[in-house]
Amino acid sequence: MRKFEKVSIDEFSKYYDKTMYEEYDLPKRMTRHSAGYDFLAIEGFTIKPGEIKKIPTGYKATFGNDEMLMILVRSSMGFKYNVRMTNQVGIIESDYYNNIDNEGHMFVSLQNEGDRDFVVKKGEGYAQGIFTKFLICDDDITTNERQGGLGSTNKERNDE
């Protein structure tokens, strides 16, 4: 089943006041033809010109093993305000869900490359998630399993 869920209140309270847990909404499509599910701000925030902000979404997602969730900046943010995601596109694989490090809690890192403050109010969209299928090579024999959260599939490189 493909769906978004809230992270546990324990994971949530690492980043936000736990009294806000019941107040925030899961991502939603804003029109019936929208491809993306808008990620909605749990609390308002401002990103000053040149600043980077790491945003805990409060979300995790479950979906099929042959699918991925792409996280992208909302188009208008880049076009109108010159705000971008620091990794350009976030790719979430199905085995990130409920990982041992952070339950699959997704984060978005935004950078303001514009010349004025970028302000997001509580409940406003700041990123979007798009589910899609992907293909693998016919001769693929990968058997490794995820051992943690963000960056865990590359830990042997020691580049963090």
Question: Does residue 144 form part of some domain?
Answer: no
Whether the pLDDT of residue 126 is over 70: the answer is: yes
DSSP E strand boundaries for 13-139: 37-40, 45-47, 52-56, 59-62, 67-73, 83-85, 90-93, 107-112, 118-120, 125-133
> What mean pLDDT is predicted for residues 2-8?
98
Is 154 a domain residue? Answer: no
| Residue 96 belongs to a domain | yes
pLDDT in tens, 19-70: 999 999 999 999 999 999 999 999 999 999 999 999 999 999 999 999 999 9
17: domain CATH number? 2.70.40.10
Q: Is 31 among the domain residues?
A: yes
Does a structural domain hold residue 141? no
Quick: pLDDT tens for 71-89. 999 888 988 999 999 999 9
Q: Show the domain range for 74.
A: 3-134
Q: Where are the alpha helices (DSSP H) in the chain?
A: 9-12, 75-81
Number of domains in the chain: 1
In a domain, 142, yes or no: no
